[in-house]
Copies of this chain bind each other. A is one copy, B any other.
Amino acid sequence: MNQMKGAQSVYFNEPVKILSHAGAGGKMEGDGPLGKHLDLIVEDPMFGRENWEESESQFLKTAGEIALRKAKKKKEDVRMAFAGDLLGQLIGSSFGIRQMDIPFYGVYGACSSVGAALSVGAMAVDGGYADLALSACSSHFASAEKEFRFPLGYGSQRPYSATWTVTGAGAFLLNKEKGDTAIRGFTTGKIKDYGVQDPFNMGASMAPAAADTIYQALEDFGKKPEDFDKIITGDLGTVGQKLLFSLLGDNHVNISGNHMDCGMEIYNEKKQDIHAGGSGCACSALVLSAMILPKLASGEWKNVLFVPTGALLSQVSANEGRTIPAIAHALWLTKAEPDSQPQKKN
């Protein structure tokens, strides 16, 4: 049976299982509503390192190590790692993975990177190319501000449409055999560009990509929005959410009853001064590890469409006055059937 579904999606005959996962965050993330569900909170934004970038790499490595420990696996057991981050040339990932000495492919989709890492990792596991894959990503408030906007030392003010880059990393171990939760399928996103040029308003640039991918996932899998307990976008924030509803509404799709946005869950909007919500690769990754997977594992939710979103800008493209293209990848996540046996191939 062909595993391709519709125009852009893949359905696994046997869901790929999430063996273990870990989320490590900074102080702000620890103070937020999901703080108690994180595996590690590191109060020192430098994580004992010399600069923000090394700190971010340390978050990535540490999250990977916690996921391995929870699964009683060693780093030598990881057959392929897929990781990405927001920094130029993915130095957050490469300096973090370097210390683990495991086979590695960098993947990139800005804040949607966890979606890319999980989709490609799931293919690697399902196809029998990797018995254990690590999908991970990281971001760091300070390294991201330096990379995209202004170094913190400038003391620049942030407009209300700006999001706050999450500091931390999420790591997910994928395999065929064991796990409470699973990847049932995924939808590969296309790049969408509606001409937004304001790097302080990434929600608006990403909403069209999210709308496109959600619409396509529902089409490809033959589902209605209410077939999912939740449809969860990455980091559209309060500004992007309105636009998402409007764009899907134009296509007669209403997800307002079961939509959630990771960027609106990770911080306490009233108590924490984060403006339009959280963002960054670690935003979706931490909410996935600290909230979505636990609720699937407990049975509170049965099916989730997880749609991390990414704005594909760079400092260079922004300085050149170019628009901000965006992408979103969707993952259909479920509770794993305890009695399901992985399908034997040959």
B91→A89 contact, CB < 8 A: no
Contact for A95 among B88, B110, B317, CB less than 8 A: B317
A105→B119 contact, CB < 8 A: yes
A105→B120 contact, CB < 8 A: yes
A188→B80 contact, CB < 8 A: yes
Within 8 A of B (CB), among A167-211: 188-191, 193
Contact segment of A126-134, A242-250, A254-262: A126-134
Contact segment of A1-9, A17-25, A263-271: A1-9
B128→A3 contact, CB < 8 A: yes
B314→A105 contact, CB < 8 A: no
Q: Is A236 at the interface (CB under 8 A from chain B)? A: no
B87→A314 contact, CB < 8 A: yes
Q: Is A51 at the interface (CB under 8 A from chain B)? A: yes
**Chain B residues, CB < 8 A from A298:** none
**Contact flag A53-B316 (CB < 8 Å), given A105-B119, A107-B106, A108-B90:** yes
**Chain B residues, CB < 8 A from A346:** 1
Q: Is A102 at the interface (CB under 8 A from chain B)? A: yes
A108→B110 contact, CB < 8 A: no
Contact segment of A31-39, A158-166, A320-328, A334-342: A320-328
Nearest-neighbour CB distance to chain B for A183, whole angstroms, equals 12
A89→B1 contact, CB < 8 A: no
Q: Is A104 at the interface (CB under 8 A from chain B)? A: yes
Contact for A188 among B50, B94, B104, B317, CB less than 8 A: B104
The copy count of this chain in the complex is 2
A320→B79 contact, CB < 8 A: no
Q: How many angstroms from the CA of A94 to the CA of B327 in the assembled complex? A: 9
Q: How many angstroms from the CA of A314 to the CA of B94 in the assembled complex? A: 11
**Contact flag A51-B97 (CB < 8 Å), given A105-B120, A108-B90:** no
Contact for A89 among B131, B191, B312, B345, CB less than 8 A: B312
Q: Is A42 at the interface (CB under 8 A from chain B)? A: no
**Chain B residues, CB < 8 A from A285:** none
**Chain B residues, CB < 8 A from A130:** 4
List 25 A–B pairs whose Cβ atoms lie within 8 Å, in order of A's numbering: A3-B129, A4-B130, A8-B103, A10-B129, A53-B317, A79-B188, A87-B88, A88-B89, A88-B314, A88-B315, A89-B110, A89-B317, A91-B312, A91-B314, A94-B327, A95-B312, A98-B191, A98-B325, A104-B188, A104-B191, A105-B116, A106-B107, A107-B107, A108-B108, A127-B128
Known: A80-B188, A88-B89, A120-B120. 4 other contacts (CB 8 A): A86-B89, A89-B312, A91-B313, A91-B314
